Homo-oligomer: A and B are copies of this chain.
Amino acid sequence: MIKIGILGYGNLGRGVEAAIKQSPDMELTGVYTRRSPDSLKINTEGVAVRNASELEQKRDDIDVLVICGGSATDLPAMTPKYAKLYNVIDSFDTHARIPEHFANVDAAAKAGETVGIISCGWDPGMFSVNRLYSTSILPVGNAYTFWGKGVSQGHSDAVRRIEGVLDARQYTIPVEKALNSVRAGENPELTTREKHTRECFVVAEDGADLARIENEIKTMPNYFDEYDTTVHFISAEEMKRDHSGLPHGGSVIYSGQTSGGNNHVVEYSLNLDSNPEFTGAVLIAYARAAYKLSGEKSFGAKTVFDIAPAYLSPLSGDELRAHYL
């Protein structure tokens, strides 16, 4: 059994926990938190909740530590720190800082003789893998990534920070016309506005200036100003009833031409009822890879690009060739 520790028990940590329950070759041996362990009630019977400080001395009951922190400040510090002691995996998703994060984790993991898999999940993650396969197979062509329909937590948070907003949920929605053009192999050039729209559901304080809130959302730089955004004011009850899930998804569509003059469209799409549960499931499949790579002494930082698909499976090469090829 591969012994898994989870550091951080938010939505993603619970998604990882859910995935371990479906993995016959894995067991959860502990959840680690920076909060008071007594304050956490987890979904797995008989598993200890411990303070993160207990990870500082190398523990024998962790083969792979799954680090479920935020990309802004948590993961840049935590993943290199724990890579010195444990095989680790994270979902670092600040694309521009991936090279720096990779270098830091690589140095720590090589020093600690561990494996550190970074930027795992679906984007970065499975979407990246599909972009790479397609561009490698069809070097002449265009890659398009569409997100949604789904909840963007970053955009929801941005709306919540506006004065007078009690709660908010933001859905990113791909534009059907753009999707259809790409799927038809038309290779369109698309602006930001032409690719996605944004839809916000907002619970406002009693007596708040709704027109001012709507205007602040629609003109918010980086988050909304380049998009067509619709805003709906709803009640707290409606929010709870209709918007408590965290669905997401999207498509990587590659439209490529071979030199014989033919066009080929390759699409990888996800339709996820729960973003954190799917992301957790991806992390757990790659945690298995980290464990196997560690056994082969293939130490250092890795990404999804560096890991052969067979490493994600509990099955042997013989079984995979006989039944999955």
Q: Give A residues with C-beta under 8 Å from B.
A: 14-15, 18-19, 21-24, 95, 98-99, 102, 119, 124, 126, 128-133, 135-140, 183, 185, 258-260, 262-274, 277-278, 280-282, 285, 288, 303-310, 312-313, 317-318, 320-322, 324-325
CA distance A21 to B259 in the complex (A): 7
**Contact present for A325 and B136 (CB under 8 Å):** no
Q: Which residues of B contact A303 (CB under 8 A)?
A: 321, 325
- Chain B residue nearest in CB terms to A289: B136
**Contact present for A324 and B132 (CB under 8 Å):** yes
Q: Which residues of B contact A282 (CB under 8 A)?
A: 137
Q: Which residues of B contact A21 (CB under 8 A)?
A: 259
Q: Which residues of B contact A130 (CB under 8 A)?
A: 268
CA distance A129 to B310 in the complex (A): 9
Q: Which residues of B contact A259 (CB under 8 A)?
A: 18-19, 21-22
**Contact present for A124 and B325 (CB under 8 Å):** yes
Q: Which residues of B contact A128 (CB under 8 A)?
A: 324-325
Partner of A320 from B95, B274, B305 at Cβ < 8 Å:
B305
Write 5 A-B pairs (CB below 8 A) sorted by A numbering.
Answer: A14-B260, A102-B321, A124-B325, A131-B324, A262-B273
**Contact present for B133 and A309 (CB under 8 Å):** yes
CA distance A140 to B312 in the complex (A): 15
CA distance A308 to B270 in the complex (A): 22
CA distance A274 to B264 in the complex (A): 8
- Chain B residue nearest in CB terms to A284: B137
Q: Which residues of B contact A270 (CB under 8 A)?
A: 264-267
Partner of A22 from B22, B139, B277, B285 at Cβ < 8 Å:
B139
Partner of A272 from B119, B264, B272 at Cβ < 8 Å:
B264
**Contact present for B267 and A269 (CB under 8 Å):** yes
Q: Which residues of B contact A307 (CB under 8 A)?
A: 308
CA distance A124 to B176 in the complex (A): 32
Q: Which residues of B contact A280 (CB under 8 A)?
A: 258
**Contact present for B119 and A325 (CB under 8 Å):** yes
